[in-house]
């Protein structure tokens, strides 16, 4: 997902509970869209690797990677940020990072020594606790240079926008599914369950539309991912969240096909941004 888009708006609907019912008759087959402002750029998603997908090999030795921490909303550099890298969910839950870097400079830049072996990494970014909240990125490639930080000021804009105060004891899961060519998939449905307790996933999962080139907003009438591929599930109890993605491979299909799954960490008053790959071997 493009971090430059203002998907921080996903927090504002934390209290909503009237998501529309699913209607497969109207649901499109999964697609990708190179220009989310132009429906003519929609083409079928490439899921030819479904069931056989495999990540490339990770680094063979400890490798320095230059990264830049930016504000989630404004894309401006974030100073004094710490970046942690975890090679597994178990390591994250045990608070055992494989690498730590920071604090970032005024340009937001840090260099982290990435461990050998793992291709996909869990990144945790923290900065001034008086100004930012914890941001977790799940399923990122090991050499992805862009890290993000969500500000308290951004979250504080919500009550004035919609008179809804998010539940600070719970978290948010957002992200997308990528096809075999690493493109965000439209027409997908996301379901989230949590080891931290039961909650209404359907009522708290929302999909987004690109209003323009830089702004992405949740739309109540959107029942599946649009061309930007973005979903968000609100008020998720802290714990391990299991994400399941389904969709129609062909418009004529009468049943949804499993497309991807992951188990990602969720913490109170934080956001977990997940990038899912197609189901693999």
Average pLDDT on 51-72 reads: 95
First to last CA, the chain: 24
What token pair was written down for 275? 């990038």
pLDDT reported for residue 83: 98
Rounded to whole angstroms, what are the CA distances from 144 to 67, 120, 266?
Answer: 8, 10, 21
For CA atoms 97, 111, 171, 198, give the dihedral sign: negative
Report which secondary-structure segment, H or E, holds 273: strand 271-276
Kindly tell me if the per-residue pLDDT of 134 is higher than 60.
yes
Percent of the chain at pLDDT > 90 equals 65
**Domain-by-domain residue ranges, the chain?**
7-276
> In the predicted model, what is the mean pLDDT of the chain?
87
Average pLDDT on 129-148 reads: 94
The closest alpha carbon to 222, from 178, 276, 258, 186, belongs to: 186
What is the Cα–Cα distance from 86 to 127, expressed in whole angstroms? 18
What token pair was written down for 217? 């907003």
How does pLDDT run across 175-217, given as a tens digit for each residue?
999 999 999 999 999 999 999 999 888 888 888 877 777 676 6
What is the Cα–Cα distance from 273 to 197, expressed in whole angstroms? 20
User: At CA 257, angle to CA 118 and CA 209, rounded to 5?
Assistant: 80
Do 138 and 273 touch, CB atoms closer than 8 A?
A: yes
Report which secondary-structure segment, H or E, holds 155: helix 152-156
How does pLDDT run across 91-127, given as a tens digit for each residue?
999 999 999 999 999 999 999 999 999 999 999 999 9
Helix and strand element counts for the chain (H, E) = 3, 18
pLDDT reported for residue 156: 57
Do 260 and 275 touch, CB atoms closer than 8 A?
A: no
Please give the radius of gyration of the chain, using alpha carbons only, rounded to the nearest integer.
Answer: 18
How does pLDDT run across 188-199, given as a tens digit for each residue?
999 999 999 998
The closest alpha carbon to 73, from 30, 10, 22, belongs to: 10
Report which secondary-structure segment, H or E, holds 210: strand 205-210
- Say what the pTM is: 0.88
Kindly tell me if the per-residue pLDDT of 9 is higher than 90.
no
What is the Cα–Cα distance from 121 to 143, expressed in whole angstroms? 9
């Amino acid at each position: 997902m493009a971090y430059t888009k203002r998907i921080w708006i996903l927090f504002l609907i934390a209290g909503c509970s009237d998501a529309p019912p699913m209607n497969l008759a109207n649901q499109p087959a999964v697609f990708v869209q190179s220009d989310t402002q132009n429906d003519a750029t929609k083409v079928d998603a490439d899921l030819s690797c479904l069931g056989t997908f495999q990540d490339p090999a990770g680094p063979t030795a400890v490798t320095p990677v230059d990264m830049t921490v930016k504000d989630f909303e404004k894309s401006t550099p974030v100073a004094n940020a710490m970046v942690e890298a975890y090679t597994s969910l178990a390591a994250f839950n045990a608070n055992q990072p494989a690498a730590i870097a920071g604090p970032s400079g005024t340009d937001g830049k840090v260099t982290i020594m990435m461990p050998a072996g793992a291709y996909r990494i869990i990144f945790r970014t923290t900065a001034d606790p008086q100004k930012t909240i914890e941001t977790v990125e799940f399923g990122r490639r090991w050499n992805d240079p862009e890290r993000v930080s969500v500000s308290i000021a951004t979250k504080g804009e919500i009550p004035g926008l919609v008179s809804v105060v998010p539940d600070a004891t719970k978290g948010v899961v957002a992200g997308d599914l990528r096809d075999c060519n690493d493109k965000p998939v439209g027409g997908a449905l996301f379901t989230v369950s949590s080891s931290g307790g039961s909650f209404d996933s359907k009522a708290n999962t929302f999909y987004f539309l690109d209003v323009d080139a830089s702004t992405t907003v949740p739309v109540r009438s959107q029942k599946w991912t649009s061309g930007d591929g973005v979903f968000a599930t609100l008020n998720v109890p802290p714990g391990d969240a299991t994400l399941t993605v389904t969709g129609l491979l062909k418009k004529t299909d009468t049943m949804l096909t499993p497309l991807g799954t992951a188990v990602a960490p969720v913490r109170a008053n934080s956001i977990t941004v997940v990038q899912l790959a197609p189901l693999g071997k």
